[in-house]
């Protein structure tokens, strides 16, 4: 059975690129448009990795991480931030909240696959 990656981003183009990249190497990809929708999907199905944007409406990536880490199904799941944000303070905050890794947009497909394989198996 394929491992599931939950990608959370308000940009359909980014969700499509993540889906195309990871499904092409055997992952099942589930999509959400914001952190609140992502949190519901995290609670409802087994997820091996979350790829989440920072700046989104409804619930941003930091809020998502904070809430996900409080959930039994989200406490041990690797969370990769995929964002345009490059400030060291933002990266430090993400790490403090429980982000496992950080990639910047635009992303390199081979790097995303390598990180997914490392974090999700």
Span 71-87, mean pLDDT? Answer: 92
- What single DSSP character describes residue 3? P
C-alpha 47/C-alpha 13 separation (Å) is: 22
Q: Note whether 23 and 112 are within 8 A (CB).
A: no
Structure tokens at 61: 């990536």
- Give residue 2's pLDDT band: very low, low, confident or very high (50, 70, 90): confident
pTM above 0.85, yes or no: yes
Cα torsion 109, 84, 19, 117 to 10°: value is 50
pLDDT of residue 15: 96
Q: Note whether 9 and 58 are within 8 A (CB).
A: no
Q: Note whether 97 and 69 are within 8 A (CB).
A: yes
Over residues 12-47, the pLDDT tens digits come to 999 999 999 999 999 999 999 999 999 999 999 999
Over residues 91-114, the pLDDT tens digits come to 999 999 999 999 999 999 999 999
């Amino acid at each position: 059975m394929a491992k599931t990656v939950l990608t959370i981003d308000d940009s359909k183009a980014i969700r499509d690129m993540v889906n195309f990249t990871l499904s092409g190497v055997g992952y099942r990809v589930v999509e959400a448009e914001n952190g609140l929708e992502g949190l519901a999907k995290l609670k409802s199905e087994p997820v091996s990795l979350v790829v989440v944007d920072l700046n989104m409406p409804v619930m941003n990536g930091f809020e998502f991480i904070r809430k996900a880490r409080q959930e039994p199904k989200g406490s041990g799941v690797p969370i990769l931030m995929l964002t345009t944000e490059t400030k060291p303070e933002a990266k430090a905050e993400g790490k403090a909240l429980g982000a496992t890794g950080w990639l910047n947009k635009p992303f390199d497909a081979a790097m995303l696959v390598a990180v997914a394989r490392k974090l999700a198996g």
